[in-house]
Each structure stands twice: as C-alpha cells, then as structure tokens.
Amino acid sequence: MHPQDTDTDFEVRSLDPGYTTDQNPPWWHNTKYLIGGIIFGIVLTKAEVISWFRIQEMFRLQSFHMFGVIGSAVVVGALSVFIIKKYKLKTVSGEAIDLSPKSFHKGQVIGGLLFGFGWAMTGACPGPLFAQIGTGATVIIVTLASAIAGTWVYGWLREKLPH
C-alpha cells in the first residue's frame, strides 16, 4: 500500500522498511512529547528565533544571533549523536536507537530553495509558526493553514515533480 521504495521521508519513521513497533501506545504515553514541545516552544520564543526581525537580520548578515543558535545547536546535537552511536545507547524502554541515513534527491535543492524563500517572507520555519500563534499572533493561523495547504499540494503533485 505504501510507496515505500520512493518515500524516504526520514521524519516519518513508521514508513521505514524495517519499522516493526506496530501497536499504538495509549495516548497518554505522548504527554512526554507534549512537555518536550513546551520546552522547545519556550526556548524558541525566548531566544527570539520566532522573531521576523531576527530572521531578516540573519539573512542580511546584520546579527550573529541566529547563526549562534543554529551553530551551537548543531554542535551539541552532533556530539550527542556521536555519543549515542559510540556507546550504542538504548532508549529508556531498551530499544536500539534507529538512525537510518538520508538519501539525496533533487527536492533537497529545489524544495530547499523554495522553503528558504518562505522562511525569509514569513520570518518563520514550521516550529516558530506554532510558537507565534501561541504568543497571541493569531493571524499566523492563516500562515499555518497556508503551509498545510502547501504540504498538501506537494503530496498531490509529488509524482510529477523531479526527485
């Protein structure tokens, strides 16, 4: 049923060919992700990553702030993944940690450029869109709805787009 051979979306793990965890856990198992998301949302907001002004400064090379945020996040993330791989750390429930490699396709270039345009225009990537709505900028609901529509249109046109 799934076009798994072509669908290599790293972010949708249940589509991975080797994915076995079949049963859905009870919904309250997800509260830990809700809490993680709350922390993430607070950090994005307090560090002004969700600020349209900060994004304009970044793309005009007028401030180091955003480069510092992304750069230090990558250093900490890479160090963590290195440790996880080196010591073959397992999840809290004892599962082996699963990090399949990503495959390259043209979408990373074309889609990447298109997303870059949108990032500069809205001043937001997908995470900040949610946080901006939370801060009370209710009009961003329109932007988020439009982003969902964009994802839908991508899915609809997918077979016809170069990959």
Partner 1 sequence: MLEWLQQPWPWYVAGPIIGLMVPVLLLIGNKRLGISSSLRHICAACLPAKIPFFQYDWKKEAWNLFFVTGVLIGGYIAATLLTSSAPVQVNEKLLAELQLYGITDHTSLLPVDIFNWSAVLTLRGFLLMIVGGFLVGFGTRYAGGCTSGHAIMGLSNLQWPSLVATCCFMAGGFIMANLIMPFILKL
d(CA 38, CA 86): 30
Residue 116 binds to partner 1 (criterion: CB under 8 A): yes
3-state secondary structure of 96: strand
Draw the binding track, 142-161, toward partner 1 (x: CB under 8 A; -: no contact).
xxxxxxxxxxxxxxx-x--x
Task: Please list, in sequence order, all residues whose beta carbon lies within 8 angstroms of the beta carbon of residue 121, skipping any fewer than 6 positions away.
Answer: none
The count of other CB atoms within 10 Å of the CB of residue 25 is 9
Q: How many residues bind to partner 1 according to rule CB under 8 A?
A: 128
Residue 31 binds to partner 1 (criterion: CB under 8 A): yes
Query: In the Cβ-directed half-sphere of 20, how many Cα atoms lie within 13 Å?
Result: 4
Sole binder of partner 1 in the list 5, 8, 86, 88 (CB under 8 A): 8
Residue 27 binds to partner 1 (criterion: CB under 8 A): yes
* Sign of the Cα pseudo-torsion (130, 2, 8, 163, in order): negative
d(CA 8, CA 10): 6
Sole binder of partner 1 in the list 18, 86, 87, 91 (CB under 8 A): 91
67-86: which residues touch partner 1 (CB under 8 A)?
Answer: 68-78, 80-81, 83-84
* Closest approach of partner 1 to the CB of residue 138, in Å: 8
Residue 1 binds to partner 1 (criterion: CB under 8 A): yes
* Closest approach of partner 1 to the CB of residue 148, in Å: 5
